[in-house]
Amino acid sequence: MHLDHDPGAAPADEIGFDEFLKVDIRIGTIVEAEVYDGARKPSLKLKIDFGPGIGMRRSVGQVRALYTPEDLVGRQVAGVVNFPPRQIGRALSEALTLGFADEEGRVVLFSPDSRVPDGARLF
């Protein structure tokens, strides 16, 4: 799968609302973060609390260009929680943490403006 990070790119193919609802995007709080030295690209291993319905999930994010582990603990982030787990090197990623590329291609994490309950779903 190729992800186009070009802000001037055309939109993806049109989908129906029911298809959008199949992607389960939730808010969670990062409770642990550590440098992932085994990754090909500078990454952090995250442990995210997605609330009582989903619980803790691990995620690997290529976010070291802008964030340190200390920056992230306690921060709320959005993540896809219904993808199958994915092996990334020696680490297992159980959620896809969401972000946008800045002008230099660095990942800027997607977070709510105000604190919301962990597990809240994007709609």
Beta-carbon-side half-sphere exposure of residue 19 (alpha carbons within 13 Å): 4
Sign of CA dihedral 49, 53, 57, 59: negative
Strand, helix or coil for residue 18: helix
Q: State residue 3's pLDDT score.
A: 56
Pairing of strands 56-61, 76-80: unpaired
Q: Is the per-residue pLDDT at 1 higher than 70?
A: no
DSSP run (H or E) holding 71: helix 69-72
As a whole number of angstroms, the distance between CA 15 and CA 10 comes to 14
| Model pLDDT for residues 37-61, shown as the tens digit of each residue | 877 888 999 999 999 999 999 999 9
Q: Stretch 91-120: mean pLDDT, rounded?
A: 96
pTM across the whole model: 0.91
Q: Is the per-residue pLDDT at 97 higher than 90?
A: yes
Q: State residue 123's pLDDT score.
A: 87
Question: Residue ranges of the domains in the chain?
Answer: 17-109
Q: pLDDT above 90 covers what percent of the chain?
A: 83
Q: State residue 2's pLDDT score.
A: 43
Q: State residue 4's pLDDT score.
A: 60
Range 17-109 has CATH code 2.40.50.140: yes
